[in-house]
Amino acid sequence: MRSRRRPPARRGSATAAALGIGVALVAAAAAVIGSIIAVSRNPNPAGRASLRAADAHANGGHRRMDVDVDIFSGRVNPRFTLAADTAAELTHRLAALPPALGPERPPGDLGYRGLRVSRHGGDPGDTRDTITEVTVSRGEVAVRAADGSRRRLLDPGRALERWLLDIGASELDPAVLATARHDLPPPSTPPPGPATPT
């Protein structure tokens, strides 16, 4: 008695099923990519605010800040941006500065007058940030807080001003950077240590 042979597997149907799964996966990926592009192009202010809030949360509550180089008269001043982590470093450096005593120095009229730091694209009425504006000029720093208060600090050796200019060096015109650095004192160097016996 002859044994019955099983019919061969239908390769065509298996191949079609695999192709169907592949097409479904490609379609799903395309939908996800389309959603991402739509979100990135969404002009909704609430969406942009959510992105700024997420960026601030990831950097300890600090947001990006804009730095204007106050150098021109009648023209838009050059600007560069501090990343959120650098803005946090600025806050730490401000906390280490001593208070300024005596009368406030008047700003210059011509040429380079200093740096003005403000919140990047922030709402002036937003009080979630502690610092809203910082002015650095001629060895003095004026800090304006979100509650409207203002305090004056000293910038010994204009180290804070130099630090900010060094950060923005890659974004500033070389001529503007050279003018801003012209009147800065040379960076301080630590005193030499004791001579090593030979």
DSSP string of 83-118? -HHHHHHHHHHHHTSPBP-SSPPPPPSSS--EEEEE
**Confidence (pLDDT) at 121:** 57
Hey, is 15 helix, strand or coil? helix
What confidence category does residue 118 fall into, taking pLDDT thresholds of 50, 70 and 90? very high
* 3-class state of residue 151 by DSSP: strand
Gap between the Cα atoms of 62 and 10, Å rounded = 63
- Report yes or no: 71 and 179 within 8 Å, Cβ to Cβ: yes
Quickly state the pLDDT bin for 119 (edges 50, 70, 90): confident
Mean pLDDT of 105-115: 81
Q: Distance from CA of residue 65 to its chain's centroid?
A: 6
pLDDT at 129 over 70: no
Which has the higher per-residue pLDDT, 140 or 36?
Answer: 140
146 versus 19: which is more confidently predicted? 146
Average pLDDT along the chain: 75
Contact 135, 150 (CB under 8 A): no
Point out the least confidently predicted range of 52-61, 73-82, 97-106, 123-132.
52-61
pLDDT for the residue numbered 183: 85
28-37 average pLDDT score: 49
Question: What is the pLDDT confidence band of residue 53, given thresholds at 50, 70 and 90?
Answer: very low
In this predicted structure, what is the pLDDT of residue 193? 52
Domains of the chain by residue range: 17-58, 62-182
Mean of pLDDT values over 153-168: 96
The amino acid occupying position 176 is V
Closest CA to 113 of 70, 162, 169: 70
